[in-house]
Structure 1
Amino acid sequence: MKFAPEYVTYVLNENFEDAKELFLAPLMAIHYAHLAMLAAQGIVSAEDAHRIREALDSVSLDDVRRAKYDGSCEDLFFYVERLIVDACGEDAAGRLHTARSRNDIDMTMYRMRQREFILGLLAATFELRRSLLDLVDRHRETVLAVHTHTQRAQPTTVAHYLLAMVEQLERDGVRLQGAYDRTNRNPLGSCAITGTGFPIDRQATSELLGFCGPTGNTYGSIATVDYLLESTSAASVLLVGVGRFVQDLLLWCTAEFDYMRLGEGYVQCSSIMPQKRNPVALEHARAIGSKALGQAMAIVTAVHNTPFGDIVDTEDDLQPLVFAMFHDATRAVKLVGAAMTTAQFDAARLEARAGDGWTTLTELADTLVRDHGLPFKSAHGIASRLIAARARDGKRPLSELLADASRDVLGSPLEYSEAQLTEILSPRHFVNVRKTPGGPAPEETARAAKASRHQLEADDSWWTNATNALADAERKLADRSASL
């Protein structure tokens, strides 16, 4: 079959180059695993299996990667098949394709690469969690004001804020691990859509290729893309969360906030303004992460409303986008994690500013409730009147203003000394009394940080086991193939 030059230029050539980069190694592994299974099941004779294995061994991956598409075959599969035929003859080579199709080969290749992408992104989240937990350990006592609705709200600590991000990343880890488990299932043996009449062993190929086990329904093994959408969705949630965090960090690095300072390796100066210290590493992380999120949305859009079956929309043209999305997502997360290892906070300066704008006034209302048994709404009203009175008269002692405000609400004054009010309205006091589970009190953030360290160790152990399982399967496949 001679393909039209436009089809060659705009489709086949592009797909050939993409496949060489992304799928050559998985394709060869599938060939070896399928051959070993066919031989073990007696579907291919030992003599033919040996000849095919030697032919597979003769395929130079470097030569294939250097090959230019010449239109003489449809895709990488047929290009490699021609090399196998040249090495062992049509009769033997033709037996390798017994009980399989390009359909199940493709879906198996996609899942093999997909699981690598998931593990790579997951490892990047570990690096970010580790860098944030190191900061948490150094800044449990570092008080700062945080914002709601972009306005100064209440004091907390750097540790408390960062632990919120750590916990979100932990949930991202749960989502990615779940996506990995459902991705790491083997479609090989599903053939075109209905399986085969040959007595194949799908569990055997699953073990040789590092899968947890075979997929179920053979039609769904070819038709479904939910495993891809699940990992894409998990990556999207991660990217949105990290992007919001990065936006805060960029604000914190402004002269107006001046909460945080990055190390010299992650900032750049201006070509004209020598005073500038631009946190460009975080800007790049935001841009790359936004790009990856857009790619994730494009993946969902590309498969939306496509037929539930074997269809090219989910195949050659889509896979480079999947690779690009995970690649960009991973480098964005890694960049934030690396930059945060250099983050510095001026604890004394942050605490000195933490009480500005009446950020601790909730604690005054809480104190009135605790000390006098007031309804919180009444205490809130007294605190509100106190602010208004201070705005009208900035010289009267706060204790007198509070007495007047409480008299207006309750009919009688509540008496506090200036020293008592200074303590009640202190940002550090505000933080220290908030021992709620998950709160900012240093002993509580210490407990939370310890729990997050343990969770990181457990997640890292899961990741190590998963990667070791893939490496073990690769060695097992090499040994089994060599014995043919």
Structure 2
Amino acid sequence: MRERLKAAPSFNQEKYLGANFLKASNERSFYNMSRLNQAHTLMLYRQGIISRHDAQIILRSLIALEKKGNTVLTLDPKYEDYYYNVEMYIINDIGIDIGGKLHTARSRNDLHSTILRMDIRDRLLNFFPQLNALRNTLIIKSEEYKNVVMTGYTHMQPAQPITLGFYFAGVAEALERDFDRIYATYQHLNYATLGAGAFAGTSFPIDRRFTAELLGFKGPIVNTLDAIASRDYVLEIIATLAILASTINRVAHDLYYWCADEFRYIELDDSICVTSSIMPQKKNPAVLEYIKAKCSHLLAAFADAFCCMRGIPFAHSRDLGGETTHHLWDAFMEIEAMTVLTEEVLNKLKVNEKNMKARVNGNFCTATELADELVREEHISFRVAHEIVGQVVMKCVDAGLNCQGITSKKLDEAALNFAGRSFKWTKKHIDKVMDATSSVENRISEGSPRSEETEKLTKQMSLKLDNDIDAYNRLQTEVKERYRMLLDKVQDVLNSND
């Protein structure tokens, strides 16, 4: 293949640009390469470009290689690419006169870009169940803890009472959108580039739609330049994975704080914690630290791919075809780790309801409920009610009191200052208004922390999850059926007679 050049690949080129790439490709792409070669051979025969006799010999050699497995290949960097190492194996097996016909009407450009799409498709199909398992766990936890009242925070300060189930439901709903985004990237990805040639098509009468169908694609990327020059789907996929990672990262951040001794809202299972080499009392939630940090790897993968595509022509090049996906596979590995580990954390989570209740009923997070009740009962504007309650809270804080220290006297003093009259509320009435559980159940607006609303949302999310699982199963089934079709057509050719 290097007849145009007068020298073999240099030692450094083989070392830094060849050997590692070949090894990774052999581990990742062996079976997809086999399927593609079989589909391409079938197409060449079907279109009358090669004879049945030649197609049968090539197919038998390809099938024999597939049965032996990828370890039988001797990967030689002097052949430059993975596909050519496979082709040379076939040529050595059946001779160049017939084996050399395998590469008719194609280029490594369209071959590699199709293999890339197949490899990414495999990783997405492997990842969808992991994401859906996390969504399912969150829905279960939402229902389980829909009545466990806790403090909701803004700016990391006590804000309003919610329930732990409400929190988990919010995360589950966010992951719905993450699934939808990633599912959409699959739809954009699942088109074949095989048959585009180097970038300008071919003069052979090929059938691009036939090979696309056999390989499980919706069809071909029609414009042959776009087919070869575009890796926008790589950016899109990494971006959607990074957005998902951001969501998971923020959940891990919350759980990390909640298991601190100052909160003690939750406790992680011993099996996912580590100890200290010097401090014998330590139980460190290191798994959450790993989950949080891995989000950075997803962002870095996107920046890496984006920068590789920046400032290059809309055509084929090695920075596009070789370097753009350098960290794509790491991105898949990192998001899988984040997703699976977070599900394990949640499934093994121990919740300290007593601590949650004690804090939520003592840290003024029901102050908004007091202001709302003043509006309803005393018919004052919310702004005036806000001023009254704000002064009451200030005086309690200055006196070292929690919300249990709000008395009728303190409320009336503030009311006189801002409303010009006292309200004469009893302490019992104030305490009832300030009760966190009552405050949560008073939230009647759609999507609020009220247990009834959380239950309604979990039912909706369960239905959506079931539909998404069905959609995933259809994708998986379609690819498997196309591969079975490929096998059947291969056998038909092998069993036919001239």
> TM-score, normalized by length of structure 2?
0.93
| 2:183 is aligned with 1:177 | yes
Counterpart residue number, 2:484: 475
> How far off its partner does 1:141 sit?
0.5
SS in 2 for 1:464: helix
For 1:289, the equivalent position in structure 2 comes to 295
The answer on 1:73 being equivalent to 2:79 is: yes
Equivalences for residues 211-290 of structure 1 within 5 A: 211-290=217-296
Q: 2:370 aligns with which of 364, 368, 371?
A: 364
Indicate the residue corresponding to 2:469 in structure 1: 460
2:28 to 17, 22, 25: 22
> 1:441 corresponds to which residue?
450
Tell me the secondary structure at the aligned position of residue 48 of structure 2: coil
CA deviations on 1:114-144 (whole Å, 9 max, x unpaired) are 1122223332221211121221111000011
The equivalences for 1:182-197 within 5 A come to 182-197=188-203
CA deviation string 1:8-34 (max 9, x = no partner): 111122221122122222111111011
**1:21 and 1:65 in contact (8 A); partners too:** no
Give me the identity figure in percent: 30
The one-letter amino acid of 1:237's match is I
Q: Per the alignment, do residues 26 and 391 of structure 1 end up closer, same or farther by CA in structure 2, a change over 3 Å counting? A: closer
Deviation at 1:291, TM superposition (A): 2.6
User: Matches of 1:54 and 1:63 in 2, distance apart?
Assistant: 14
Q: Which moved more, 1:92-101 or 1:249-258?
A: 92-101
What code does the residue aligned with 1:405 have?
Answer: A
Per the alignment, in what secondary structure is the counterpart of residue 422 of structure 1?
Answer: helix
- Distance in 2 between residues matched to 1:462 and 1:333, nearest whole Å: 20
What is the correspondence of 1:63-142 to structure 2 with a 5 Å cutoff? 64-65=70-71, 67-142=73-148
* 1:397, distance to aligned residue in structure 2 (A): 6.6
Partner of residue 396 from structure 2, selected from 353, 374, 390? 390
User: What CA distance in whole angstroms lies between the structure 1 residues aligned with 2:191 and 2:266?
Assistant: 45
Question: Residues 189-226 of structure 1: CA distance to partner in whole angstroms, max 9, x if unpaired?
Answer: 11111222333222211111011221121100100111
Match of residue 348 from structure 2:
342
Change in CA separation of 1:65 and 1:418 when aligned onto 2, cut-off 3 Å: same
Instruction: Tell me if structure 1 keeps the 8 A contact 2:238–2:298.
Output: no
Deviation at 1:280, TM superposition (A): 1.9
Residues 1:154 and 2:163 aligned together: no
1:304-319 alignment runs, 5 A limit: 304-319=310-325
Q: 2:58 aligns with which of 48, 52, 57?
A: 52
The separation in 2 between residues aligned to 1:298 and 1:434, in whole angstroms, is 46
Are the aligned partners of 2:14 and 2:78 in contact in 1 as well (CA < 8 Å)?
no
Deviation at 1:106, TM superposition (A): 0.7
Structure-1 separation of matches of 2:460 and 2:94: 59
Whether the aligned pair in 2 keeps the contact of 1:438 and 1:445 (CA below 8 Å) is yes
Distance 1:386 1:180, change over 3 A: same
Asked if the contact 1:142–1:159 (Cα under 8 Å) also holds between the matched residues in 2, the reply is yes
* Aligned 8 A contact 1:58 1:87 in 2: no
Could you tell me how far apart the structure 2 residues matched to 1:20 and 1:385 are?
70
Separation of aligned partners in 2, 1:356 and 1:272: 36
Alpha-carbon spacing, 1:389–1:58, altered in 2? closer, same or farther (3 Å): closer
2: distance between equivalents of 1:396 and 1:49? Answer: 88
Larger displacement relative to structure 2 (383-392 or 320-329):
383-392
Please tell me whether residue 145 in structure 1 is matched to residue 145 in structure 2: no
Residue deviations 1:435-459, cap 9 Å, x none? 2111100000000111111111111
Give per-residue Cα distances to partners, 1:369-402, cap 9 Å, x unaligned: 1122211101111111222343466698711221
1:49-68 Cα offsets, whole Å, 9 max, x none, are 11211221232575643545
Could you tell which deviates more after superposition, 67-76 or 222-231?
67-76
Alpha-carbon distance in structure 2 between the residues aligned to 1:21 and 1:462: 29
Alignment-derived partner of residue 404 in structure 1: 413
Q: Which runs of 5+ in 2 are unaligned?
A: 3-7, 494-498
Say if 1:153 and 1:138 are closer, same or farther in 2 by CA, change over 3 A.
same
Amino acid at match of 2:453: E
Distance 2:457 2:390 in 1: 34
State the distance in 2 between where 1:342 and 1:266 align.
9
1:432 to 413, 417, 441: 441
Deviates more, 1:389-398 or 1:299-308: 389-398
Instruction: Find the aligned partners of 2:406 and 2:490 in 1 and give their Cα distance.
Output: 87
Shift of 1:404: 1.9
Which position in structure 2 is the counterpart of 1:33? 39
| Paired residue type of 1:3 | P
Local SS of the residue matching 1:185 = coil
- Per the TM alignment, residue 338 of structure 1 is displaced from its structure 2 partner at its CA by 1.4
Cα distance 1:302–1:286, how it changes in 2: closer, same or farther (>3 A)? same
Q: Is 1:374 aligned to residue 380 of structure 2?
A: yes
TM-score, normalising length from structure 1? 0.95
CA distance in 1 between counterparts of 2:397 and 2:107 reads 79
Determine if contact 2:76/2:85 at 8 Å carries over to the other structure.
no
Provide the residue aligned with 1:417 in structure 2: 426
Contact 2:73 2:86 in 1 (8 A): no
C-alpha separation between the residues in 2 aligned to 1:153 and 1:383?
14
CA distance in 2, matches of 1:91, 1:4: 29
Closer, same or farther: CA 71–143 of 1 in aligned 2, 3 Å: closer
Matched residue of 1:59: which SS? helix
Query: Aligned pair count?
Result: 484
CA distance in structure 2 between the partners assigned to 1:206 and 1:370 by the alignment: 66
Q: Per the alignment, do residues 179 and 60 of structure 1 end up closer, same or farther by CA in structure 2, a change over 3 Å counting?
A: closer
